[in-house]
Amino acid sequence: MPELLTVGNWKMNTTVPEAVALALSVRRDLVDKPVPDVGVVLCPPYLSLPSVSESMEGSPVMLGAQNAFYEPKGAFTGEISPAMLAGLCEFIIIGHSERRILLRESHRVINRKIKAVLESGIRPILCVGETLEQRRSGSAARVVARQIASGLNGVSDVRELVVAYEPVWAIGTGLAATPAVVIDIVKNAIRTQIHKMYGASMADGLPVLYGGSVNPDNVSEFLEDPSIHGTLVGGVSLIPDQFLKIVRLTSEIKG
Ligand code: PGA
């Protein structure tokens, strides 16, 4: 079975001291009551990564960045490269819908970022998901399959890849998708596309997360399906006891 992950995406929240305090509370709890079968990944803002990384040393908590640029260095004002993140984090979220929509990141940009992240030896978490309009018009599976195909265009090795299915209409709305919707897209868009591009064993071995208004009350219904290996948690990841409940439920249900 692919690895189990609970990923907390803090988005543009927390000052540096707040980030360290939040990460330390997660660390303390996981050291007191270890959950060895679930990988716990915190994704603070870039600015906090060095301090949080220092305060997580020697703990089971892993770190992720929320984005990275595709060039290693140069005249790209305001950008951060995967090379700069090496040593600070093990994962980088790429293609989050907030970046696709608000920052207008194209399929091509996301593809270049995925390649750059893989080249740096950090693991990409590729986010895919349709808008409400696309779902209503019946094109959800096609949209997600295209995001996978274009995001991975020219990528030969996906062993380090994680995919997060995050329907745009479920993010930050309090309206999570239903398990039936998630299972359908994971099977018929994500794994089918990976199967086409990389074969059956890659498709079966790919860790796939669900994200979109995940909380301790609704997480079990997603985790009960064998095709889901964890969650990408936004708002609730800022509330340590709720986030930790999700981590523990992941272990209880899937571990
Ligand atoms: P949410 O965000 O849990 O606040 O809906 C999820 C995400 O954007 O990754």
How high is the mean pLDDT of the chain? 97
Q: Which amino acid is at 97?
A: S
CB atoms within 10 A of CB 156: 8
Tell me which residue of 184, 234, 242 sits closest to 213, measured CA to CA. Answer: 234
How far CA 225 is from CA of 70, 178, 219, in Å, comes to: 34, 12, 11
Residue 215, phi then psi, degrees to nearest 5? -145, 170
183 CA distance to ligand 1 centroid (A)? 18
Q: Would you state the pLDDT for residue 144?
A: 98
Ligand 1 pocket test: pick from 5, 94, 233 the residue with the most ligand atoms within 8 Å of its Cβ: 233
Q: How far apart are CA 115 and CA 94, in angstroms?
A: 11
pTM of full prediction above 0.95? yes
2 falls in which pLDDT band (50, 70, 90)?
confident
pLDDT band for 4, please (50, 70, 90 cuts): very high
Mutate to test the pocket of ligand 1, among 5, 7, 9, 42 (most ligand atoms within 8 A of CB): 9
Q: Are the beta carbons of 45 and 12 closer than 8 angstroms?
A: yes
CB atoms < 10 A from the CB of 218, how many? 17
For a ligand 1 pocket test, name from 91, 209, 213 the mutation site with the most ligand atoms within 8 angstroms of its C-beta: 213
Q: Which atom of ligand 1 is nearest to the CA of 215?
A: 3
Q: What is the percent of the chain with per-residue pLDDT over 70, rounded to a whole number? A: 100
Name all residues whose Cβ lies below 6 A of ligand 1.
9, 166, 171-172, 211-214, 232-236
115 and 85 in contact (C-beta within 8 Å)? no
Question: pLDDT, tens digit, for every residue of 200-217?
Answer: 999 999 999 999 999 999
| Burial of residue 194 (number of CB atoms within 10 Å: 0-12, 13-18, 19+) | buried
pLDDT at 251: 97
Q: How far apart are the C-alpha atoms of 8 and 89, rounded to whole Å?
A: 13
Residue nearest to atom 2 of ligand 1 (CA): 234
What confidence category does residue 187 fall into, taking pLDDT thresholds of 50, 70 and 90?
very high
Residue 171 has pLDDT above 80, yes or no: yes
CA of 209 to the centre of ligand 1 (A): 12
Strand partners, 209: 164
Catalytic residues: 96, 166
Tell me the average pLDDT across 163-174. 96
pLDDT of residue 117: 98
- Tens digit of pLDDT for each residue in 90-141? 999 999 999 999 999 999 999 999 999 999 999 999 999 999 999 999 999 9
Measure the CA–CA gap between 87 and 90, rounded to whole angstroms.
Answer: 8
Which atom number of ligand 1 is nearest to the Cα of residue 171? 5
pLDDT digit string (tens) for 20-65?
999 999 999 999 999 999 999 999 999 999 999 999 999 999 999 9
Residue 139 phi/psi, 5-degree rounding, is: -105, 15
> If 0-12 CB within 10 Å is exposed, 13-18 middle and 19+ buried, where does residue 79 land?
middle
| Secondary structure of residue 4 in the 3-state scheme | strand
Question: Which of 116, 95, 115 is CA-nearest to residue 107?
Answer: 95
- Tokens 């090379």 locate to 83
pLDDT at 177 over 80: yes
pLDDT value at 255 more than 90:
no
Strand pairing category for 4-9 and 38-43: parallel
Q: Extract the tokens encoding 11.
A: 């988005």
pLDDT at 141: 98
**Phi and psi of 211, rounded to 5°?**
-140, 150
- Which of 185, 65, 199 has its CA nearest to residue 129? 185
